[in-house]
Amino acid sequence: MSSLVQVAGVWWNVPEGYRPQQARPCKSCGQVILMAQTPKDKWAPLNPDGTSHFSNCPQAAQFRRPKPSPAPEATASRDSD
């Protein structure tokens, strides 16, 4: 189940158990997302349709903070697109 809540003038489909906090533009792609706390007290960015913004953000990789790694590959493979 989910419920519709209005935050910052936008209606959001919020999954059950999630507690919406604030809407703001994604720092990576600029889309307005709703920051909500999950039932496990973790933060989740949601799209208006209730799906995780992780699933469609073109910069989703930036959200995931990999464990600090000494691997030099992180900066070594910068091929031009």
Is residue 52 close enough to count as binding Zn ion by CB under 5 A? no
Q: Classify 53 in phi/psi space as left (phi over 0), alpha (psi -120 to 50) or beta.
A: alpha
- Asked whether position 57 contacts Zn ion by CB under 5 A, the answer is yes
Between 14 and 47, CB nearer to Zn ion: 47
Q: Is 32 in the site for Zn ion (CB under 5 A)?
A: no
Please, which residue, 3 or 59, has the CB nearer to Zn ion?
59
Radius of gyration in angstroms for the set of CA atoms belonging to the chain, rounded to a whole number: 16
Distance CA 16, CA 62 (A): 26
Residues lying near Zn ion in the complex (CB under 5 A): 26, 28-29, 57
